[in-house]
């Protein structure tokens, strides 16, 4: 095995989602090199197994040729029923050992096989079921960053489908998904609410903290069922001249994030004694930090992408690396 | 003036919305004949004033030729800023006299002018503003049906943008709009929630009352902010095998209607002493009656289209008919 900038890599890890594929060359839980391609599972270069093999060969073929013994692990939608091969959901409570033991393998087409992590299903009587696939590895990465959080913590992963996960004794015991990001996108693009919003590009696109906070304030004082009424405010605040049209999207963003926080905080238990850890893109996390503060809550930590660390954790738990 | 099936019409009224145009030949507040065209204000045969004139001539030109003295009144989006001519919103509290006095006129292109009703704006400090245009005339029609409701009532108009209007002393004093119908449509068509739903036409399209009631039950036990989490249940109930895929739309429908009812009933005051009057398409009203019953509430009356009666009311209040 030759060196790579003087370092011998120990793991090749893949974060393979719906719209993108990222590959990490890792050593000692650190990323040596990152590559990214647009070959998410819905955007493969060809259909079926060949598409996955080709996408993998394009992003990491030279790495595999150089270090043919390098273990390879993957997470995300690549393991879904629509993915390369299904890694069926494991059930809560789920820890690293369970995730590792229920991981499945596929032949990469280049010799070595690839270990793919399962998703996590929450399904108990008298509650709505929930699913995650990929976030469990991000959580595993956060737990590697600070093992104290494994004892007890609340992990918040904002995004298209925001997750609020409760961690106890190293296990994901329960979690909830909020459609926040997708609601914003779908309502802005496809509903009457977008009609008054300046088109992207046309917009000055300046942020309007007051409009965003009006959304947060509206969410904070809401009762059960009020959201679909308050959503209509995105239109009426513009029609009544109470907000500039360029600020309507900020109101909607604040309203939807605010609703997520009101419900998520209520479900997270006593956040004065449980650390709240946020994982996600820095700009989005910043928006959530601001919103949490508005609701009287602080985040104990804000982490950028923890998927590589989580994949390292998976590789250890599965015995792929020592 | 000649007779029409032995009856002399006294009013030509138009319910002119976004997607359709309906014309009513009326006498003594009753409809003698109804016509409908697809020439809503977003689907005119040509652009600008000419498009309105042409759409009007096509649907009612022969009526105008036969009875050139017939008064003509209209309501709906035809009076919006995107309509034939804007009839600016009047503010709550709004009664029939205010609506009549703030109606505007356009030349029909065929001789007589057309009186167009304004919409109603609710805009007070410390509350979200709200708008209606067309529903105020439906409410006016209901009040003509039973003047007792003018004293005090709650009018519920389910639909794409459901309205809950509080009536006191003949006035619309306040109201709220819920995006229920549009949320259902947009989420089913454009979000991940629709992915598991059988395509329209493919679906057996059998109703599933249990799935609908699961949505209602979920709404009934919701706390503030819970909707975007519960919405995701439309996907996870399918993935977890708790509902057949063909029933997911029923769950979503029950959830969204349920949320509207929880919030709307809370805002309507004491519905044990205030009559709840529903106005809308019979099949949709039936769904709401069932949902109200599930929530422990009954509707005191269910009315089909009251726009013609409301336009008659407008014509009287404006002095167009005696």
Q: Which of A154, A157, A162, A155 lies closest to A179 in space, CA to CA? A: A162
* Mean pLDDT, residues B34-46: 96
- Which of A90, A119, A131, A225 to probe by mutation at the B interface, max B CB count within 10 Å? A225
For residue A7, what pLDDT band results from cuts at 50, 70 and 90? confident
Interfacial B residues in 110-169 facing A (CB < 8 Å)? 121, 123, 128-131, 161
Lowest average pLDDT, out of A187-201, A293-307, B64-78, goes to: A187-201
Which pLDDT value is given to residue B111? 86
Mean pLDDT throughout A208-226? Answer: 97
Please report the pLDDT score of residue A120 as a whole number.
Answer: 98
| Confidence (pLDDT) at B7 | 80
In Å, how far is A38's CA from the nearest CA of chain B? 20
Q: Which CATH class is domain B178-303?
A: alpha beta
Q: Would the CATH topology of A11-140+309-317 be identical to that of A178-303? A: yes
B contact test, residue of A229, A231, A259 with most B CBs within 10 A: A229
Q: Confirm if A73 and A11 have CB atoms less than 8 A apart.
A: yes
CATH 1.10.40.30 fits domain A11-140+309-317:
no
Which chain B residues are Cβ-neighbours of A251 within 8 angstroms?
A: none
- pLDDT for position B269: 87
Contact A179 B228 (CB under 8 A): yes
- To which H or E segment does residue A109 belong? none
Q: What are the residue ranges spanned by the domains of chain A?
A: 11-140+309-317, 178-303
For residue B304 the two structure tokens come to 């089909």
Provide the pLDDT for residue B318: 97
pLDDT band per the 50, 70, 90 thresholds, residue B87: very high
| Percent helix, strand and coil across chain B, each to the nearest 5 | 40, 20, 40
CB atoms within 10 A of CB B135: 27
Radius of gyration of chain A (CA): 21
Residue-level pLDDT at A111: 86
Mean pLDDT of chain B: 95
Q: Is the pLDDT of residue B267 over 80?
A: yes
Q: What is the pLDDT of residue B3?
A: 55
pLDDT digit string, tens, across residues B139-196: 999 999 999 999 999 999 999 999 999 999 999 999 999 999 999 999 999 999 999 9
**Structural contact between residues A267 and A242, judged by C-beta atoms closer than 8 angstroms:** no
Residue that wins the pLDDT comparison between B51 and B199: B51
Listed range (B105-119, B139-153, B202-216) with the worst mean pLDDT: B202-216
Statement: residue B199 has pLDDT above 90: no
Q: Render pLDDT for A9-61 as a digit per residue (tens, 0 to 9).
A: 999 999 999 999 999 999 999 999 999 999 999 999 999 999 999 999 999 99
Picking from B183, B228, B236, the nearest residue to A259 by CB comes out as: B228
Annotate A156-182 with DSSP letters as a single string: EE-STTEEEEEEETTEEEEEEEE-HHH
Please report the residues numbered 261 through 280 in chain B whose beta carbons come closer than 8 angstroms to any beta carbon of chain A: 261-264, 266
Q: What is the pLDDT of residue B5?
A: 65
User: Using 50, 70 and 90 to split pLDDT, how confident is the model at B1?
Assistant: very low
Q: A134 pLDDT exceeds 80? A: yes
The verdict on a CB contact (< 8 Å) between A237 and B261 is no
The answer to whether the CB of A134 falls within 8 A of the CB of A119 is: yes
Under an 8 A CB cutoff, do B180 and A228 touch? Answer: yes
Which residues from chain A sit within 8 angstroms of residue B187, using beta carbons? 186
- Band (B133; pLDDT cuts 50, 70, 90): very high
Q: Taking a C-beta distance cutoff of 8 angstroms, is the pair B17, B305 a contact?
A: no
Strands B162-168 and B171-178: antiparallel
Average pLDDT, chain A: 95
Write the DSSP symbol of residue A76: S
* Topology given in CATH for the domain delimited by B11-150+306-317: Nucleotidyltransferase; domain 5 (3.30.420)
Structure confidence by residue, pLDDT tens digits, A247-297: 999 999 999 999 999 999 999 988 999 999 999 999 999 999 999 999 999
Residue A94: what pLDDT? 98
State the pLDDT at residue A1.
45
Of A236, A237, A263, the CB nearest to B223: A263
The answer, yes or no, to whether residue A4 has pLDDT greater than 70, is no
Q: Are B178 and B219 in contact (CB under 8 A)?
A: no
Q: Residue A128 is nearest to which of B176, B193, B233, comparing CB atoms?
A: B233
- pLDDT score recorded for residue A207: 84
Residue of B60, B59, B15 whose CA lies nearest to B37: B59
Mark out the alpha helices in A169-226 (DSSP H runs).
Answer: 180-190, 209-220
| Nearest residue to B179 via CA among B119, B241, B126, B256 | B256
């Amino acid at each position: 095995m030759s060196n790579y900038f003087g370092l011998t890599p120990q793991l090749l890890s893949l974060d393979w989602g719906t719209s993108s594929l990222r590959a990490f060359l890792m050593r000692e839980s650190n990323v040596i090199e990152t590559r990214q391609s647009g070959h998410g599972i819905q955007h493969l270069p060809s259909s079926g197994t060949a598409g996955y093999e080709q996408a993998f060969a394009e992003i990491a073929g030279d790495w595999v040729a150089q270090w043919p013994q390098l273990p390879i692990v993957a997470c995300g939608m690549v393991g879904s029923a629509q993915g390369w091969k299904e890694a069926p959901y494991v059930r809560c409570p789920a820890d690293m050992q369970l995730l590792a033991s229920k991981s499945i393998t596929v032949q990469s087409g280049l010799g070595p096989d690839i270990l793919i992590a399962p998703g996590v299903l929450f399904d108990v009587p008298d509650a709505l079921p929930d699913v995650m696939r990929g976030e469990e590895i991000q959580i595993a990465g956060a737990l590697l960053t600070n093992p104290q959080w494994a004892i007890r913590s609340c992990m918040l992963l904002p995004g298209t489908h925001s997750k609020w996960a409760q961690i106890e004794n190293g296990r994901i015991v329960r979690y909830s998904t909020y459609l926040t990001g997708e609601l914003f996108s779908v309502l802005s693009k496809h509903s009457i609410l977008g009609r008054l919003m300046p088109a992207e590009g046309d917009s000055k696109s300046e942020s309007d903290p007051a409009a965003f906070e009006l959304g947060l304030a509206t969410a904070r004082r809401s009762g059960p069922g009020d959201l679909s009424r308050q959503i209509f405010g995105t239109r009426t605040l513009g029609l009544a001249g109470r907000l500039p049209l360029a600020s309507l999207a900020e109101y909607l963003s604040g309203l939807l994030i605010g609703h997520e926080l009101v419900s998520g905080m209520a479900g997270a238990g006593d956040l004065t004694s449980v650390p709240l850890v946020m994982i996600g893109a820095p700009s989005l996390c910043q928006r959530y930090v601001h919103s949490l503060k508005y609701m009287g809550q602080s985040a104990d930590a804000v982490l950028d992408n923890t998927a590589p660390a989580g994949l390292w954790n998976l590789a250890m738990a599965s015995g792929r690396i020592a």
